[in-house]
Chains A and B, each alone.
Chain A
Amino acid sequence: MTVKGLERFKQDRDALQFAVQGFEQSQSPERQLTVALVKAILDNYNRIIASAEEGKPFIANSYANAPELLAALNLPWYTLSQIPYLPTSEPYILDEIDEAERAGLGTDMCTLIRLGINNVEAGRVPLPTAFIGLLSLCDGTNMLHQAIAHNKDWHNIPVFCTDAPYLESERSIDFHADELRRMVSFLEEHTGRTLDVDRLREVIEESNKQYELWAEYNELRRAVPCPHSAAKGSQAWSVAQNYMVGDRRGTEWFRQLVDITEQRVSEGKGSIPNEKIRLFWFDIRAIWFPEVTEWLKAEWGVCIVMDMTGYAPYTLIDPSSEESMFKGLAKRNLCDVPMVRQVRGTADTLINDLMMVVKDYKIDCVVWPAHMGHKDGAASVGIMREVCRDLGVPFLQIGLDLFDKRYTSMDEIKDRISKFFTAMGLG
């Protein structure tokens, strides 16, 4: 059966398959964890492809949105905002950004959003049974959801977005918990699946174990030298929130992560041989990260000890009742998800996270990459600078695009960072 939008998925699946074979040769335990994650991604691809071809339900999600519920409903899903992060997207990304611009999406809207809209407009993602979105993030995500609903091919795809209050309170959590219940009713209606509360409990209990282990792992990352670079934090998030949600394989993945990290810490092994600068990258990862991180390591002895994605293991959920589980999921969805956590509400969380990370992880400097999409962050830069000044930690704002490496050239980024380190007497 030919399904629109599946060609690219199949191509990506094949490329991932190829990559796994290459990775599998590696003996490094860290690399084996990466292999386990890529295998889970592959698995997800295969489930989506099979569901699309067999006419079985599958979901498109924009980002986050309590995936524990999808896991409990046994619904495969793909996440639009994850696609550009997959290594398989790399060869196309710059052309696709240009294509988005030609399509009329301009140059100043978050590139992740433009890529998301453009992937839908260009028919590069399979038409799902239903689409779900979360309205708590930035303005760009809101428009992404609207553009999807507006697209002609997607007109008949049922859409549900969960609304999210701005301020953090019990009332907000209750409101959002009800939104999640409405989302479940919507999914049940359009997929024929029914939420089994006992199954949800199993998923949540398993995800709690994952978050406990993640918290342990983050404790270990406080060690000097730091046992891993920030990449493992991003992987942890992908495991817990995207590809092994509430899944025993994910728990095992975290357990191994903790074991190998404990070992490294006890042996005093750092992620880089001679750690000189402990840096807090206060954003999500850039898709071109390896180019800069390798240079940071080699040239300056920098370890990115923490970033936005790796910082916040989610709050554990009380699985005792349906109500407590929905409330817990609402809290996770509003207050824990990377990006949502820092972007959704007032600047208070941003400030608190900044202070905690700097203190707990013995940070030498904070880099706010100033991704062109983060308009809210861009308007918080003075606040961040003052917080860092009070903490006595140097702060650098760059101005770049996490997805388009042409926005600020690699040379310029390196030059800015070098000048900053030199001026601050770091390294």
Chain B
Amino acid sequence: MGAWKGENELETTVKSKALQQFQEATETIVNPELKKWIEQGGKVVGYFCSYGPEEIITAAGMVPIRIRATGSTGTELADAYLSSINCSFCRHAFNMGLQGDYDFLEGLVWLNNCDHVRRIYDNWIRKVDTPFTQMMSLPKMTTDVQVEWFRDELKILKEALEKHLGITISDEKLWKAIKLHNQTRRLLRQLYELRKKDNPPITGAEALAVVVASTAMPREQFNDMLKELLEELSDAEGITDYRARLMIVAGILDDPAFIKVIEEQGGLVVTDSMCFGTRILWTDVNEGASDPLTALARYYIQDKPACPRMFDTQPQRSKFVRDMVKEFKVDGVIGERMIFCDLWTGENFMLGGDLKEEGIPFLKLDREYIMAGAGQLRTRAQAFLESMGR
């Protein structure tokens, strides 16, 4: 690791077609793979949060995609319904809905994940014509009682989809979908494994593009493309020219450009605790369970790394970050938060205290969904790296 000489573009040394396709997929909502699927008559169902049960949508023969607001340029239409104190992701996403950018969706699934998103449901069902909509009741605790509750919620969703499509979603189909999504998670974890190296072969911005793409296209294709990328990265020369290894802790962060600005200052992002990151890939659904819906409920409520909205999980969430710091040899943690998000205000308040106790440098960064200018971010990232003596 040489002395840092100034702004630089960290990037993988590998020229990969798959990576390029993933990066392109983060720049638009309907990427070429999804477009192909739709043109062939395939249906797509969106969902709003990392608790969205993708497997059930896949088992119904459709492609699940996580709602993003990529490419949005304004919130004029949404502003008639929402307020300036609403999270900008929600404002942009709803604006796209009003604009018709999500008209290709067959359905949309919500959970009451936060105060902003859950009200998008109320507005959407009144203003946007999406054939199938469903609100699911996601508990805020993670005991067995909640697993049981959420199993019923999954069953309700499954039955509603069956009714809407006039199909049957058998256990066999559910297991098949679970296996497919587990494969995505396993492959993504292999990618994270490579990032543990002293010289990771891929940057944080590139890795984010891969994870975002995993929620945006048919999974079979994604898995094949990721296998290809992993192959290419396996003996790639790693990145050496960085000042510090960073971890990002965040809710919705789907824009690789944000991480790119940080990495341009020399802080290589090697891992994360994010919704487009470890929170959706770090654990698998138990394929050995006897009932697929129970297996899914257990995965979402108890097994996957929890979001701050799950009341009883703060010690686990904090431990998760601290363990990742060790495992990925992280020098400093950045806690990113969307302005007006109360969940992440609280999370960063508590996590900041925990990391301070362990002497782990921590930087809180507030942001808007669409990155307007990189100047302030650049300055904050630089100052953070300098404060760490890097």
Tell whether A108 pairs with B115 under 8 Å between CB atoms, given A142-B311, A147-B349, A150-B314. no
SS of B interface (majority): helix
Tell whether A379 pairs with B119 under 8 Å between CB atoms, given A149-B314, A163-B141. yes
CB distance B81 to A381 under 8 Å? yes
Task: Determine if A105 is an interface residue (Cβ-Cβ < 8 Å).
Answer: yes
Tell whether A379 pairs with B140 under 8 Å between CB atoms, given A139-B342, A143-B308, A143-B343. no
Residues of B within 8 A of A171 (CB): 152
Q: How many A-B residue pairs have CB under 8 A?
A: 145
Task: Determine if B339 is an interface residue (Cβ-Cβ < 8 Å).
Answer: yes
CB distance B149 to A175 under 8 Å? yes
Chain B, residue nearest A113 (CB) = B342
Task: Determine if A382 is an interface residue (Cβ-Cβ < 8 Å).
Answer: yes
Q: Give the distance to chain A from B122, nearest Cβ to Cβ, in Å.
A: 4
- Cα A138 to Cα B85 with chains together (Å): 14
Chain B, residue nearest A164 (CB) = B140
Q: Which of B87, B90, B122 is the one whose CB lies under 8 Å from A380?
A: B122
Task: Determine if B112 is an interface residue (Cβ-Cβ < 8 Å).
Answer: yes
CB distance B340 to A104 under 8 Å? no
Task: Determine if B12 is an interface residue (Cβ-Cβ < 8 Å).
Answer: no
Task: Determine if B353 is an interface residue (Cβ-Cβ < 8 Å).
Answer: yes
CB distance A166 to B345 under 8 Å? no
Q: Give the distance to chain A from B250, nearest Cβ to Cβ, in Å.
A: 16
Chain A, residue nearest B87 (CB) = A375
CB distance A382 to B81 under 8 Å? yes
Task: Determine if A106 is an interface residue (Cβ-Cβ < 8 Å).
Answer: yes
Task: Determine if A86 is an interface residue (Cβ-Cβ < 8 Å).
Answer: no
- Cα A337 to Cα B116 with chains together (Å): 21
Task: Determine if B118 is an interface residue (Cβ-Cβ < 8 Å).
Answer: yes
Q: Which of A172, A370, A375, A378 is the one whose CB lies under 8 Å from B137?
A: A172
CB distance B345 to A167 under 8 Å? no
CB distance B121 to A147 under 8 Å? no
Task: Determine if B31 is an interface residue (Cβ-Cβ < 8 Å).
Answer: no
Residues of B within 8 A of A165 (CB): 137, 139, 149
Residues of B within 8 A of A103 (CB): 349
Residues of chain B touching chain A, judged by Cβ–Cβ distance below 8 Å, are 80-87, 90, 112, 114-116, 118-123, 126, 135-141, 145-146, 149, 152, 308-309, 311-312, 314, 339-343, 345-350, 352-353, 364, 366
Residues of chain A touching chain B, judged by Cβ–Cβ distance below 8 Å, are 103-106, 108-110, 113, 117, 135, 138-140, 142-147, 149-150, 161, 163-167, 171-172, 175, 178, 343, 346-347, 370, 372-373, 375-376, 378-383, 397, 399
Inter-chain pairs besides A346-B118, A376-B118, A379-B90, 8 sampled, C-beta below 8 Å: A139-B341, A143-B343, A150-B353, A166-B118, A167-B137, A346-B122, A383-B81, A399-B84
